[in-house]
Amino acid sequence: MEQVLDRFVRDVQGLYGAELVSLFLYGSAASGEHVPGRSNFNVAVVLRKLSAALLRKAAAHLRTWHRQGFATPLFLDLEILHDSMDVFPMEFLDMQAHHRVLSGTDLFAGLSIRQGNLRLQCEQELRGKLLKLRQSYVESALAPGEMERVLVAAASSIAILGRMLLRLGGEDAAGEVDGVLERVQGLFGVSTSGLGSWGGGSGDWSGGGFSAGNFGGFRGGATGGGGAGGDW
């Protein structure tokens, strides 16, 4: 892993030189949950000022980076980063908690996200999932196996949402998925039964007890309405 990262850093430094402000790793490889052969390396490249010409410089290297296990890098500049804090608070808070600087400045040191922006995005994400789940329920009502696949896909992001809800409640958001979900259940009074095994990528669907009602309760946590888990 380290050799692959070192080659990537040299590539990016060679492409951008003094234009490079920061290069950092985020996601599973930064949080210790990277699975070789299955997980990608998620990286962000922060430049002084983005331009089409600078983006094109990376194009010739993209196929090689993909073969080495990298997702297409996230390209930002300082202005975009600053102006996006209120729009993507969940993503930036997750990056702040789990990132590793590979080159340049740590731009997440001292990062501050407004709670109001975080609450709005949590609610938007949860309401969006509920809308999609209702549509999928109608489409899959006669095919339970298909509905299971829909629910597993929806649960894949539940750990991040759970961490953000804990932040909103002033609680510790660190730790493994199961512990996060237990604290969400205790804080908001919503059942998280089955979410750990389904959302954590174990693939164990049997007996999980997960339903769209779980998302309804999470939505209540985001809106301050409590855990009315059955109303979806």
pLDDT tens per residue across all 232 residues of the chain: 889 999 999 999 999 999 999 999 998 888 777 777 778 899 999 999 999 999 999 999 999 999 999 999 999 999 999 899 889 988 898 888 889 999 999 998 878 888 888 889 888 888 888 888 888 888 887 887 777 777 776 666 777 788 888 888 888 877 777 788 888 888 888 777 666 554 444 333 333 444 445 545 555 555 555 444 444 4
Q: Are residues 60 and 134 in the same domain?
A: no
Distance CA 150, CA 171 (A): 30
Same domain? For 68 and 138 the reply is no
In a domain, 110, yes or no: no
Q: Is residue 9 part of a domain?
A: yes
Report CA dihedral (177, 180, 182, 183) to the nearest 10 degrees: 180
- pLDDT at site 70: 96
Question: Looking at the structure, do residues 26 and 57 belong to the same domain, yes or no?
Answer: yes
Domain carrying residue 150:
115-223
Same domain, 129 and 96: no
Confidence at residue 227, expressed as pLDDT on a 0 to 100 scale: 45
Question: Is residue 53 in a domain?
Answer: yes
pLDDT at 189: 81
Q: Are residues 86 and 133 in the same domain?
A: no
Same domain? 92 vs 177: no
CA dihedral 199, 200, 203, 207 (to 10 degrees): -60
How many domains does the structure of the chain reveal? 2
Q: Which domain CATH number covers 30?
A: 3.30.460.10
